[in-house]
Structure 1
Amino acid sequence: MSSTGRLSRGVITVVNDSEVPLPVEIVIKRANLDPRGVPHLSNAGDEFLVMPPQALIPPGATQNFRLQWLGEPLLEKSESFFFYVNQIPIKLSGSRHDVQLVFSVGVMVNVAPPRGQPALNVVGNSIVTDKGGRHYPAITVENPTNVHALFPQSVVQVSSGSWSETISSGELAQFIGIGLVQPGHRRRFVLPVPLPPGATSVQCRLQFDPRR
Structure 2
Amino acid sequence: MTASTILARPWRMLLAVAAALMLLASPALAMRVSPMVVEMESRGSGAVARIEVQNINPGKLAFQTRVFRMELGKDGEIIETPADDQFLIFPPQGALPAGGRQVIRLQWVGEAEPATSQAFYVSVEQLPVAFEPGSNEAVGAQVQVLYNMRALVVVAPPGAKPDVKAASVRQLDYQPPAPPGATELPPMQDGVEVTLRNDGRRHAMMSNFSWQLEGTDREGKWLRVDVSAEELNRAVGTGYVPAQGERSFKLPVPGFGPGPIKLTFKQ
TM superposition score normalised by structure 2: 0.72
Once the two structures are superposed, residues 16-54 of structure 1 have per-residue CA deviations (whole angstroms, 9 ceiling, x without a partner) of 111211000001100001122222100114110000000
Say if 2:61 and 2:129, in contact at 8 Å, map to a contact too. Answer: no
Matched, 1:11 2:65: no
> Is the aligned partner of 1:190 residue 2:229?
no
Does residue 144 in structure 1 map to residue 204 in structure 2? no
Q: CA deviation at 1:175?
A: 2.1
Instruction: Give the partner amino acid of 1:7.
Output: G
Write the distance in 1 (CA, Å) between the matches of 2:78 and 2:171.
24
Q: Does 1:87 align with 2:122?
A: no
AA in 2 matched with 1:20: G
Does the aligned pair in 2 maintain the 1:24–1:88 contact within 8 Å? Answer: yes
CA offsets 1:139-185 (integer angstroms, 9 cap, x no match): 10101011111121333221232111122223222321111111121
Match of 1:68, SS state, is: strand
**Residue in 2 that maps onto 1:159:** 214
Instruction: Between 168-177 and 8-17, report the one with greater CA deviation.
Output: 168-177
Counterpart of 1:124, as a letter, is: S
Instruction: Return 131-140 or 68-77, whichever deviates more.
Output: 131-140
Determine whether 1:122 maps to 2:166: yes
Going from structure 1 to structure 2, the CA distance change for 1:204 and 1:153 (only over 3 Å counts) comes to farther
Within 2, Cα distance between the matches of 1:152 and 1:96?
46
Which among 69, 72, 79 is matched to residue 111 of structure 2?
72
Q: Is the CA contact 2:190–2:252 (under 8 Å) kept in the aligned structure 1?
A: no
Alignment length (residue pairs): 207
Q: Which amino acid aligns with 2:241?
A: V
Q: 1:6 to 1:133 in 2, by over 3 A?
A: same
Contact 1:23 1:88 in 2 (8 A): yes
Identity %: 27
State the alpha-carbon separation in 1 of the partners of residues 140 and 227 from structure 2: 55
Relative distance call for 1:19 and 1:153 in structure 2 (3 A) is closer
Preserved contact between residue 210 and residue 229 of structure 2 (Cα < 8 Å): yes
Within 2, Cα distance between the matches of 1:203 and 1:135? 15
Deviation at 1:128, TM superposition (A): 2.0
Displacement of 1:129 after TM fit?
1.6
Gaps of 5+ in 1: none
Q: Please state if 1:112 is matched with 2:151.
A: no
CA shift, 1:205, in A, is 1.6
User: For the structure 1 residues 18 and 163, does the alpha-carbon distance in structure 2 shift closer, same or farther, using more than 3 Å as the test?
Assistant: same
For 1:135, the equivalent position in structure 2 comes to 190
State how far apart, in whole Å, the 1-side matches of 2:187 and 2:236 are: 20
Q: What is the root-mean-square deviation in Å for CA atoms of aligned residues?
A: 2.0
Measure, in 1, the Cα distance between the counterparts of 2:78 and 2:152.
11
Is the deviation greater in 86-95 or in 130-139?
86-95
1:201 aligns with 2:259: yes
Deviation digits for residues 74-130 of structure 1 (CA, Å, limit 9, x no counterpart): 221110000110011234578793212111001100001012211211111222224
Structure 1 or 2: more helix by fraction: 2
Change (3 A) 1:22 1:108: same
Per-residue CA deviation, residues 175-208 of structure 1 (Å, 9 max, x unaligned), is 2111111112111112242225xx2234132326
* Aligned residue type for 1:201: G
Amino acid at match of 2:141: H
1:63 maps to 102
How many angstroms apart in 1 are the aligned matches of 2:231 and 2:120?
26
Q: Which amino acid aligns with 2:255?
A: L
Counterpart CA distance in 1 for 2:225 and 2:51 is 38
SS at match of 2:231: helix
